[in-house]
Chains A and B, each alone.
Chain A
């Protein structure tokens, strides 16, 4: 056997290989053409062995393939001819007739004393299809990325921008080249950097799958914009190459409206406070005028009437004072309010009667609206006034206790004196004068309950009111 026949025999083993294999000698004559190549080309080995390749495929004589074969034969340098640049070097087809995309590798065959060129033909069709599908999905991703009407960017775990869409660039006033490779920290408002870094860290340490934050960016022109940023981590094929994708929405306009609304609310509060203050001042003025007028009156009955009027006006003024000073414009903290009212009442009674005492024991943590606080102030004022008027008919020093507490959501107000007690058969709603009439009417208005009883020494009025119940059926104010 010649050495060539030896070689052909040993090459027969390559028939099993799932790749086209072709061996050429220095005269470009085919030494071997394996069965895979027979199948793909439709040309049998018998037809080609011993034939010059260029005679079989004349168009190949001047191709890159010819150069590659020459180099392999002369210098032994291997070459790779990719389907990317040579779509159909050999006329090969799949069994179903589709053209077979292929890569060709040429190299020196070292198993023979004479220079031989070993040609390997690899099917690239499947790979190409996968690549095309990948390119397609990349394009889709890109079109979503670029076409979005919100800012989208991709960042590394260090916060470096590796992708940014046009919308995001426009939002910050930079172009993509200026943004990419730089970190988001550089463009974030200094006050928001810490929070943003913490969120990104949480994302990469898998503490949170995503986040949403409202933060500020500083634009290229130095202006500040507000944005709502939603961040999430991308899945990566290789560990450690994960990135974060952030969707950024400009909310500067909303923020400006919110700020404007807040300002208007503050202005409104200020205005309401001012109104309460003025109402209180006017009522205090009226109360002072009544007090001054009273000092000029001789008749004790007339004096008592004017004093009662003074007390009532002062009680209403007290409500407005509380509203003006409170944290909320329309609500009054009942506890401190009644305590102050009792101090005022004692002062007023002292000025007229002398030697009287009002002791308050208030234990309520309750806020009431002006519609509730005002009648309660009037009720306390009237009952305390009444106690001094009727308990000590002989002008002896007396004491009135005002006890206020909450009992299962109901407000319990007890006004006790140490005087002569109530007359036999006293009915609080019986109409004994203006004071009790006011108390009765206001109790009805509040849907409360008023009871009166005699104690071993003195009388006690108990007023009960359920703030929650009252709110649901608000009757009209009495005419």
Chain B
């Protein structure tokens, strides 16, 4: 992993060091996800993050809705503890189908994603999200309860807002993910949904990470 071409965390009011630490956390999480996926497929998988930003939940939902008109599929894992929220891995439905087929091979020629493929996708999502969630859990040193993955379907608003009116202070850490799996190029998103107290939790997480690393100066990503 290298530095992202584009990142915007200004909403959090982080210091330069903290911003770098957050980037490093993302790097670690996505890197671990790639490792998990590579091990699962017994093949090298490249995950990269061309863009990462923190933005209000409604803005992220609108942007996702505008970018991906067609149906989306998402794997969600909810976590609670010192830091609460949920982690989502989001794919355009067709891309998710390609990802699953790249992994389990061609299925019956049905346009929509079948039940077996949904289950496979849930597990793949679980493997990828666990990479990120493990980093958070480990950095916090335990105390985080994480749910099993569930599959969601719908458009960007349905998936991110779950048909509810978000509070104005709800923010999302939104990562654009490019996959190279079995020489196919795919794209998707990882979204980390947090309420305001959890933002403090995120800052605490960043602080804990910096403290664990124990490097006083700037981190090179």
| Interface presence of B53 (CB below 8 A) | no
Interface residues of A in 210-234 (CB under 8 A from B): none
Interface residues of B in 115-140 (CB under 8 A from A): 115-117, 119-120, 122-124, 126-127, 130, 133-134, 137-138
Q: Are the CB atoms of B137 and A142 closer together than 8 Å?
A: no
Over the window 74-109 of chain A, the binary record of Cβ atoms lying under 8 Å from chain B Cβ atoms (1 yes, 0 no) is 111111111111000000000000000001010100
Interface residues of B in 72-116 (CB under 8 A from A): 77, 103-104, 108-111, 114-116
Provide the residues of chain B in CB contact with A288, threshold 8 Å. none
| Interface presence of A138 (CB below 8 A) | yes
| Interface presence of A134 (CB below 8 A) | yes
Q: Are the CB atoms of A81 and B137 closer together than 8 Å?
A: no
Provide the residues of chain A in CB contact with B130, threshold 8 Å. 71, 75, 77, 79
| Interface presence of B208 (CB below 8 A) | no
Q: Are the CB atoms of B122 and A80 closer together than 8 Å?
A: yes
CB nearest neighbor in B for A142:
B110
| Interface presence of B148 (CB below 8 A) | yes
Over the window 219-252 of chain A, the binary record of Cβ atoms lying under 8 Å from chain B Cβ atoms (1 yes, 0 no) is 0000000000000000000000000000000000
Cβ-neighbour of A78 out of B103, B119, B142, B147 (below 8 A):
B147
Bound-complex Cα distance A78 to B127 (A): 10
Provide the residues of chain A in CB contact with B146, threshold 8 Å. 76-78
A77-B133, A85-B120, A135-B114 are known contacts; what are 11 more A-B pairs with Cβ within 8 Å?
A67-B36, A75-B137, A80-B123, A80-B149, A82-B122, A84-B119, A85-B119, A105-B148, A110-B145, A131-B116, A138-B114
In the assembled complex, the CB of B62 is this many whole angstroms from the nearest CB of chain A, namely 20
**A-B contacts, 11 listed (Cβ < 8 Å):** A75-B138, A76-B145, A77-B130, A82-B123, A84-B116, A85-B104, A85-B119, A85-B120, A131-B115, A135-B115, A139-B110
Q: Are the CB atoms of B123 and A81 closer together than 8 Å?
A: yes
CB nearest neighbor in B for A120:
B148
In the assembled complex, the CB of B107 is this many whole angstroms from the nearest CB of chain A, namely 8
Bound-complex Cα distance A76 to B133 (A): 9
Q: Are the CB atoms of B138 and A82 closer together than 8 Å?
A: no
Q: Are the CB atoms of A67 and B122 closer together than 8 Å?
A: no
| Interface presence of B63 (CB below 8 A) | no
Bound-complex Cα distance A80 to B116 (A): 14
Bound-complex Cα distance A425 to B41 (A): 123
| Interface presence of B14 (CB below 8 A) | no
Those 8 A-B pairs whose CB atoms lie nearest each other, nearest first = A75-B134, A84-B120, A84-B119, A82-B119, A131-B115, A75-B137, A82-B123, A77-B130
Q: Are the CB atoms of A64 and B40 closer together than 8 Å?
A: yes
Provide the residues of chain B in CB contact with A103, threshold 8 Å. 119
| Interface presence of B204 (CB below 8 A) | no
Q: Are the CB atoms of A77 and B115 closer together than 8 Å?
A: no
Q: Are the CB atoms of B148 and A80 closer together than 8 Å?
A: yes
Chain A: interface residue total (CB-CB under 8 A) = 28
| Interface presence of B39 (CB below 8 A) | yes
Bound-complex Cα distance A131 to B111 (A): 16
Provide the residues of chain A in CB contact with B116, threshold 8 Å. 84, 128, 131, 135
Provide the residues of chain A in CB contact with B127, threshold 8 Å. 79
| Interface presence of B144 (CB below 8 A) | yes
Bound-complex Cα distance A80 to B126 (A): 7
Q: Are the CB atoms of A78 and B120 closer together than 8 Å?
A: no
Over the window 52-70 of chain A, the binary record of Cβ atoms lying under 8 Å from chain B Cβ atoms (1 yes, 0 no) is 0000000000001001000
Interface residues of A in 412-437 (CB under 8 A from B): none
Q: Are the CB atoms of B126 and A138 closer together than 8 Å?
A: no
Provide the residues of chain B in CB contact with A105, threshold 8 Å. 148
Provide the residues of chain B in CB contact with A142, threshold 8 Å. 109-110
In the assembled complex, the CB of A128 is this many whole angstroms from the nearest CB of chain B, namely 8
Bound-complex Cα distance A135 to B110 (A): 8
Bound-complex Cα distance A368 to B92 (A): 75
Provide the residues of chain B in CB contact with A79, threshold 8 Å. 126-127, 130
Knowing A80-B126, A84-B119, A134-B115 are in contact, say whether A67-B108 is a contact too (CB < 8 A). Answer: no
Provide the residues of chain A in CB contact with B133, threshold 8 Å. 75, 77
